[in-house]
Structure 1
Amino acid sequence: MADSYTSTTSDQQKQEVALDIGNLMDLTSNRGIDNGKEIEISSYEEYPRKRIFYKPSLVSIGPKYSKEVDQVKDKEYKNIYMKSFLERDVGHSVDEYRGCLRNPEMKLLDKAENYYKEIEITYPHTDEELVDMLLLDGCFVVEFVLKCKEGGNGDPRRSFEGKKAREDMLLFENQLPFDVLSAIYKKMTTGNTDEVPSFIRLVKFAFASLAPKFTINNFHDDNKPQQPMDLLHVVYSLCLPSNAQTLVSQAAKGNEENMWLKLNHMNSATELKEVGVRFDKIGQVFNMPKKYENIPSPEYSGAISLFDITFHNGVMTIPCFKVDNFTELFFRNMIAMEQRCDTLNPKYFTDYTRLMDHLLDTKRDVTLLRKNGIIQNLLDEDNKVAYIFNNLSVEVDTSTNFYFASVYTAVNKLCRKRSHVWKQKLKKFFYALWKVLSITLSAISLLLLVVEAYNNNK
């Protein structure tokens, strides 16, 4: 089988494919809908339209939103991808994939049921309905990721519908268990004589550019995460520090030095600047190449993650990151996953947004960090960036094992040093005095020149 895993079929095979798709779509039209609580969200006041941060706009994946999208468009879009998937793998029929999902040794149905129970989503009530849902949506996701890898005119990232579908697939409650996706991909590539890239790496390639910052080192590590829950969890792992596993084990010990005190507070960036704190950029925002074969080696950009913020000798070092139209949706769904999943600890995105909420209090704070190269603002207006981070942490519980506790402690210790504070105040006083004297001397000099000119004209 070639690298693109594509092949052609006869007219008879195509008719069978169309029949299989029609049956699947009919069988999955009555999926279960979650009756649980909705997460309360806020929207941009500056934007003309209301943002929906947790509901898909085009494609439903899994049971929760199957009745809340445009079912005609959802059906048409999945039809295209299902047909393409089955034409790609003429060696296996739809029934063979159904058999794979029902295989008692793989326990995929049990895993799917447990997955949806853990995130409080009602799933189809019969095994048959569950199998049809997993098959249709699973084949769609696998085919979508493969098309991104192949690039060219068929790359969904190049179309409006593809871009919307890609955003939909990073919603916390719009997911399939990763074991199901892996099983479908493994069966589809069985017998391939060429080297087959891991499905984890293909997912990272397809979705990495939606992250505010990711590290290329994590892209090349197929063991991150070791036991992926879903597609969103894989993209989540792209952003983590390289020593994330060690930090998780330390967190489990309940180290008191890294415990978050709810009374802790950090001044904004401009306030910290007034007491002598300097902000330095570190790392870079890596842009994933459009072509899979152009991905550089891990050494290209180092191992600086989004969360590698440090404070030492009055200097806060912050990895640069981008802010665009997808940033708020990305953060909100990562935070939702952290809040629902106890196994994710430390809660990197939750703690990061709390830190940024304190630092980026106003437009002036965003402007300061942007001018220092830390924020790449693709929204044009700095006040929009401040608005995003001021609202991300609303009604979100901060973890007790606060990841940036050491940064807060060091910054607050510096700000409390009376000698340091007075030193900065004296510097500001003498600078202001110097400006007044400079203006006064300039005014006197100008006045003397005027008087001299007047006397010379007499």
Structure 2
Amino acid sequence: MDWIVSSLQRDLMLFENQLPFFMLRKLFDMIEVPNQHNRLIYLALCFFRDLLPGPGYRERIVPNGDGSNKKGNWRFIPNTIELQEAGVQLVKIEGASLFDIKFEYGVMKIPPLTIEDRTESFFRNLIAYEQYCPDNLLTYITDYVGFMDCLIYSPKDVEILSRRGIIDNWLGDDEVVSTIFNKISDAVTGPTSYFQYADIVNRVNIHCGKRRNQWMAKLNRNYLNSPWAFISILAALALLLLTFTQTVFTVFPRK
């Protein structure tokens, strides 16, 4: 039955149920042709494909290498609302792995992410695996969740990302989704100095740090954050224009 498969997927993904891969290979050699371990990986991907909360069912589901995984200094980026105020466009990108986030010319391209009942458990258990992994460069899930946590500060951020098609919220509650990302990284070591999205983060911060973009952010935040504020600005501009016109006619009366 479908519910049995779903339950097995979730149970096998639990950190306490994960086995060293060499043990799985030994067991697999007992029931299949020995040393055909690529087939074991293929079967595992087929079985767990429904758990992956976005595109990525292929041999390589990790981020494309663009220099972003090099060691370096970086700092967190603003949330979705602040990025929009700074002129950053957030768009959904199709046909890419879940982790292939791009930033070019003020446009952040993010593959769609589906949030459902099993998503939090999926992320938490893979993060736990990465935390105990001896290779400190294997932090793809930890880094991805950390990056999304930067974008999602409040339910309003989730709402915007949902409107853009970046988040497919099967839970239906934006606040629940924001809470998942705000709490999921608690007590987690990282992101490390080898943060997979360090290059993107640095370029986003450079974009947001430009004076012109800062002015636009302040304008949007202080004067264009609601229809009434925008109407007030239009009314003020209209009043200023009328005053200017009246002054011109007073100084240069028609003969």
Helix, strand or coil at the partner of 1:173: helix
In structure 2, C-alpha distance between the alignment counterparts of 1:208 and 1:432, rounded to whole Å: 47
Structure 2 residue runs of 5 or longer lacking an equivalent are: 238-255
In structure 1, C-alpha distance between the alignment counterparts of 2:212 and 2:155, rounded to whole Å: 30
Q: 1:236-251 counterparts in 2 under 5 A?
A: 239-241=61-63
Q: Quick one: which of 363, 385, 391 aligns to 2:155?
A: 363
Q: 1:341-380 counterparts in 2 under 5 A?
A: 341-343=133-135, 345-380=137-172
Bigger mean CA offset, 313-322 vs 162-171: 162-171
1:319 equivalent in structure 2: 111
Tell me if the contact between 1:346 and 1:401 (Cα under 8 Å) persists in the aligned partners. no
RMSD of the TM alignment (CA)? 3.1
> In the alignment, residue 92 of structure 2 is paired with which amino acid?
K
In structure 2, C-alpha distance between the alignment counterparts of 1:266 and 1:197, rounded to whole Å: 39
- Cα 1:364–1:202 shift into 2, 3 Å: same
Q: 1:191-230 counterparts in 2 under 5 A?
A: 198-218=39-59
1:305 equivalent in structure 2: 97
Q: 1:419-438 counterparts in 2 under 5 A?
A: 419-426=212-219, 429=223, 435-436=231-232
Structure 1 residue runs of 5 or longer lacking an equivalent are: 1-155, 219-237, 284-300, 442-458
- Cα 1:414–1:327 shift into 2, 3 Å: same
Tell me if the contact between 1:213 and 1:239 (Cα under 8 Å) persists in the aligned partners. no
- Cα 1:242–1:217 shift into 2, 3 Å: farther
- Cα 1:423–1:167 shift into 2, 3 Å: closer
- Cα 1:415–1:216 shift into 2, 3 Å: same
In structure 1, C-alpha distance between the alignment counterparts of 2:206 and 2:128, rounded to whole Å: 32
> In the alignment, residue 386 of structure 1 is paired with which amino acid?
S
> In the alignment, residue 90 of structure 2 is paired with which amino acid?
F
> In the alignment, residue 7 of structure 2 is paired with which amino acid?
K
Tell me if the contact between 1:307 and 1:352 (Cα under 8 Å) persists in the aligned partners. yes
Q: 1:38-117 counterparts in 2 under 5 A?
A: none
Tell me if the contact between 2:55 and 2:112 (Cα under 8 Å) persists in the aligned partners. no
Higher relative contact order (CA 8 A, sep 6+): 2
Q: Quick one: which of 54, 70, 87 aligns to 1:276?
A: 87
Tell me if the contact between 1:208 and 1:214 (Cα under 8 Å) persists in the aligned partners. no
- Cα displacement string for residues 72-101 of structure 1 (whole angstroms, at most 9, x for unaligned residues): xxxxxxxxxxxxxxxxxxxxxxxxxxxxxx
Q: How high is the sequence identity, in percent, across the aligned residues? A: 34
In structure 1, C-alpha distance between the alignment counterparts of 2:233 and 2:187, rounded to whole Å: 50
- Cα 1:378–1:188 shift into 2, 3 Å: same
- Cα 1:190–1:278 shift into 2, 3 Å: closer
In structure 2, C-alpha distance between the alignment counterparts of 1:311 and 1:197, rounded to whole Å: 34
Tell me if the contact between 2:86 and 2:217 (Cα under 8 Å) persists in the aligned partners. yes
Helix, strand or coil at the partner of 2:91: strand
1:410 aligns with 2:191: no
Helix, strand or coil at the partner of 2:208: helix
In structure 2, C-alpha distance between the alignment counterparts of 1:396 and 1:269, rounded to whole Å: 23
- Cα displacement string for residues 296-324 of structure 1 (whole angstroms, at most 9, x for unaligned residues): xxxxx4xx212211222211111111111
- Cα 1:171–1:433 shift into 2, 3 Å: closer
Tell me if the contact between 2:152 and 2:158 (Cα under 8 Å) persists in the aligned partners. yes
TM-score (ref. length: structure 1): 0.46
- Cα 1:162–1:342 shift into 2, 3 Å: same
Helix, strand or coil at the partner of 1:435: helix
Structure with bigger gyration radius: 1
Helix, strand or coil at the partner of 2:108: strand
> In the alignment, residue 29 of structure 2 is paired with which amino acid?
K
Which aligned segments of 4 or more residues in structure 1 are displaced greater than 6 angstroms? 430-433
In structure 2, C-alpha distance between the alignment counterparts of 1:378 and 1:364, rounded to whole Å: 16
Helix, strand or coil at the partner of 1:240: coil
In structure 2, C-alpha distance between the alignment counterparts of 1:276 and 1:190, rounded to whole Å: 56
In structure 2, C-alpha distance between the alignment counterparts of 1:170 and 1:328, rounded to whole Å: 12
TM-score (ref. length: structure 2): 0.79
- Cα 1:375–1:433 shift into 2, 3 Å: closer
